[in-house]
Amino acid sequence: MEQLQLPLLWLMLAAYTGALVVYGMGFWARNVKLQHLATKIVYVGLVFTAAALILRSVLIGGLPLNNGFEFGLCFVFVAALAYVIMEKRFSIGAIGLFVMPILVVLGVWLVSIDLTIEPVMPALRSYWLAVHVSSAVISYGAFAVSFAVSIAYLLKDKTGEKADSRLAQSLPSLKVLDEITYKLIFIGLPFLTIMLVTGAVWAEYAWGAFWSWDPKETWALITWLVYAIYLHTRFMKGFKGRRAAWLSVLGFAAVIFTFFGVSYLLPGMHSYLV
Distance, CA of 207 to CA of 80 (rounded, Å): 35
Residue that is last in its domain, among 114, 131, 163: 114
Element (H, E) at 178: helix 174-207
pLDDT for 223: 95
Q: Do 260 and 133 fall within a single domain?
A: yes
pLDDT for 272: 45
pLDDT for 100: 96
170 lies in which domain range?
121-274
Q: Do 192 and 95 fall within a single domain?
A: no
Q: Do 129 and 258 fall within a single domain?
A: yes
Q: Do 86 and 132 fall within a single domain?
A: no
pLDDT for 121: 65
Q: Do 93 and 171 fall within a single domain?
A: no
Asked if residue 200 lies in contact with residue 218, where contact means CB atoms within 8 angstroms, the answer is no
pLDDT by 10-residue block (mean), the chain, 274 residues: 88 97 90 90 97 94 86 95 91 88 96 81 69 93 96 89 71 90 96 91 70 80 95 85 94 92 63 47
| Vertex 187 angle, CA 101 and 92, to 5° | 45
Q: Do 126 and 186 fall within a single domain?
A: yes
Which value, to the nearest 10 degrees, does the dihedral of the CA atoms of residues 146, 147, 153, 159 take?
Answer: -160
- Structurally, the chain folds into a number of domains equal to 2
Residue that is last in its domain, among 114, 148, 166: 114
Residue that is last in its domain, among 114, 130, 155: 114
Q: Do 239 and 153 fall within a single domain?
A: yes
Q: Do 103 and 12 fall within a single domain?
A: yes
Distance, CA of 263 to CA of 257 (rounded, Å): 8
Per DSSP, the three-state class of 211 is coil
pTM for the model: 0.90
